[in-house]
Structure 1
Amino acid sequence: MKIIELFIAAWIPVLKMLIVTGVGSFIALPSIGVLTEEARKNINAVVYFVLNPSLVTNNLSSTFTLKSVASTWFMPINILLTFIIGSAFGWIFNKISNVPSNLRGLIIGCCASGNLGVMLHIVIPATCKESGRPFGNPDSCTSQALAYASLSMGIGDMIFWSYVYNAVRLSMGFEEEKMKIIQQESSSPMSIEEGTTTTRENDSVWFDTKDSFSTNGEIIQETSGTNFSEPSTNSKVQSLMKMTKSLSERPAVIALRRLFTPSIFGAIIGLTFGVVSPFRRALVGENAPLRSLQGALSLLGDGAVPATTLIMGGNLVKGMSKTTSPLSNIKISAIVGVVIVRFLLLPLTGVCIIKGAIHFGILHPDPLYHFVLLVQYALPPAMNMGVIYQLFGVGESECSVIFFWAYALTLLLFPLWSAFFMWLAI
């Protein structure tokens, strides 16, 4: 197959994604005011808690069986390798380019984590439907592609919050002592207004809140219903409550809560229903007694990708506004470094790893599976990086600028790699 046909087959899905992203950016402009920051947070809550888990559960339960799970054992290892190798490249870049200390964590995180959620759910299934597709029947290809993308999302979330979050936190120097200082500072300037406790902006994350995190770069906060500032008649009970609150705010406990995201639970439930035959017969199929449940999951999951893409476009508006002024807060070399790692060094490394695994018979002969494994090395930075920097209250503008340029270059660089990966896979 001609390389130009493969490039068109890879380029059209990316163009579709960026058009929807552009719509999200347009309606998020201050002059339009449709997708405001508050609206993005509210939609994010729905996507995070409802749509993404439904998407993952439906795709995995309807496609994966015990045999297919056994044949995809290499995918978690491959995703972990993308994180480790990317962070190693980011660390090397920090050393050779003398990046400021406040940006080192940002560089490492952007180099380590790729967009394993939205990009794969849009690009891979859409590639199956293009005229130049090399993966056979479009229906079976699309179904399998969605299953691979859902599995990637679940695994990527787990590795991100267990590995990237802590790597970035340590590289930024956000140790437990500094977190305690932030908590103490944030709890002092409080005001009571209509029965609601508020704190300084950006500091409220640390005071009496229950944090939930979206896969698209927004922090969702729910104010805790317990008010620890009120005096208690029982000193022992008050001490126990304070100790419980203190333990719940320890970095290790917070990181553990983030590790088990709704998408992770969706992946566990989906794989359970797909692998266990009685559960599968009850949920999947035209005669399944619970087929209405699967239909509902399918309807909810279908809304995850467009909603997520619109929000991603809205989040990039911050980077667009920063590019209109001189890049005083971030060096151009930092942007170039992230682009080189994510769109040159990592894809080349991925080709070596996957071709080596094929050569030694580690991977089963499935061109679509090989293509997905290769694509995981050529994705732009994960939007979850914005969550970390909103959490820490530093580096948000620099993160937005890097995201803007990385996703702008995705329109050209990602299709080139995708076409090359398809040529290798077939």
Structure 2
Amino acid sequence: MGFWTLLEVACMPTFQVLIISVLGAFMATEYWNLLPVDARRSMNKVVFVVFTPSLVFASVAKTITFEDIISMWFMIVNVGLTFLFGGILGWILVKIVRPKPYQEGLVMAACSSANLGNLPLILIPAICEEDGNPFGDHSVCKRVGLSYVSFSMALGGFFIWTYSYQLIRTSAMKWKALQAIEAAEEASKNPNSDLDAEGETPLLKGEDEEQGSIVVSSNGSRNQEAIVADESDVPFSRKVVAFVKQILHELLAPPTVAAIVGFFIGSIPFLKKIIIGDSAPLRVIEDSITQLGNGTIPCITLILGGNLIQGLRKSTIKIPIIIGVIIVRYVVMPVIGIGIVIGASKVGFLPSDPLFHFVLMVQFTLPPAMNIGTMTQLFDVAEAECSVIFLWTYLVAALALTIWSTVYMWLLS
């Protein structure tokens, strides 16, 4: 497969994202006014609760069996390593460029959380269909590649809706705390401001009492901010219980639950025959879920485009942050991925299928997960900044995916 042919294959999914994003941007302008802020937030909740879980469930239940899970065990490790190294590099980038506190979670999530779903879902089958690909017969390559990508999507959803979700949630808490502090300072200048009997205004209450609260004294000075930490008086056992509850709360996110149910049904032949397949008695369930899942990518991309207008107008993201995310995602991470996959292959952890090796390497080369935009919308934090980061990373993705895909296939051929 020549460079220009591969360039066309790699560009297609990225161009699809950009074209639909442009449409979403126009729909959010004052001229059309079809996607105002409230409409995007409502659509985003539907995507989070209905569309994304449907897509994840349909992809996993159709293509994954228990034997596949056993044979592809290293992909679990590989996806975990993409988040680990990406998170470390994102943390280093935050320490170097020092973004605003509410942007830190977004930067780390953009560095660590790759688009392990819809882009590989388009890219891998397209490469398989090209003449001269190093992965063998077109139909076999496509069928096996879809099983790899579906497993990758499910694993990505699990990590994104736990790790990345927590990063964005923490940033939202910082943003609300900052807004509350500024509001308290403004109120302190007004003699009629509402203060409690002790002259302190509570600004942020955590989900659990042991997380403490932030208070500002009645004169509103930032120098007199105090963080009331109650954790020192909380028994260790209560801290453990609170931690476990938090993990369970993250795991109960609809996309994660859908992935777990999809694994369960896909790995049990009896259940799979009842629900999945053209001859299944309850195939109407699969058909309905599949139709709902088909709306995920268009809706997410339209929302991304709608947020882009706001991002271009109001974003305060620093240029070094954008450059840093691009370097992490398209320079450092692919090199790490090559080292990990080649090393695992030499140790004997990987099957001999070169397509499996290729998918593992591609997982280190993808742009940020679009679900990050869903999270920023849900928590109402850094939406504009997220759109700008997505704009530049997805523009660069076309060239980066092409170059690195060529390198990967050269290494594996």
Q: TM-score range by the shorter chain?
A: 0.7 to 0.9
1:157–1:263 CA contact under 8 A, matched in 2? yes
CA distance in 2, matches of 1:311, 1:137: 38
Of residues 329, 335, 342, the one that matches 2:329 is 342
Could you tell me which amino acid in structure 1 is paired with residue 39 of structure 2?
A: A
Identical columns (%): 39
Alignment match, 2:253: 261
Listed as ranges, the gaps of 5+ residues in structure 2 are: 188-203, 208-238
Output aligned runs, 1:322-361, within 5 Å: 322=314, 329-361=316-348
Alignment match, 2:267: 275
CA distance in 2, matches of 1:144, 1:318: 41
Q: Report SS of the residue matched to 1:316.
A: helix
Output aligned runs, 1:24-423, within 5 Å: 24-95=24-95, 97-100=96-99, 102=101, 103-130=103-130, 133-166=133-166, 256-322=248-314, 329-386=316-373, 389=376, 395-423=382-410
2:55–2:296 CA contact under 8 A, matched in 1? yes
Could you tell me which amino acid in structure 2 is paired with residue 163 of structure 1?
A: Y
2:11–2:402 CA contact under 8 A, matched in 1? yes
Shift of 1:336: 1.0
1:151–1:267 CA contact under 8 A, matched in 2? no
Could you tell me which amino acid in structure 2 is paired with residue 261 of structure 1?
A: A
CA distance in 2, matches of 1:139, 1:258: 38
Distance 1:309 1:396, change over 3 A: closer
Shift of 1:282: 1.7
Distance 1:405 1:290, change over 3 A: same
Output aligned runs, 1:11-26, within 5 Å: 11-26=11-26
Could you tell me which amino acid in structure 2 is paired with residue 120 of structure 1?
A: P
Alignment match, 1:234: none
Distance 1:161 1:71, change over 3 A: same
Count of residue pairs brought into register by the alignment? 358
CA distance in 2, matches of 1:125, 1:46: 28
TM-score (norm 1): 0.72
2:300–2:370 CA contact under 8 A, matched in 1? no
Bigger shift: residues 156-165 or 265-274: 156-165
Could you tell me which amino acid in structure 2 is paired with residue 333 of structure 1?
A: P
Shift of 1:130: 4.5
Could you tell me which amino acid in structure 2 is paired with residue 42 of structure 1?
A: S
Shift of 1:131: 5.1
CA distance in 1, matches of 2:381, 2:265: 42
1:3–1:423 CA contact under 8 A, matched in 2? no
1:157–1:261 CA contact under 8 A, matched in 2? no
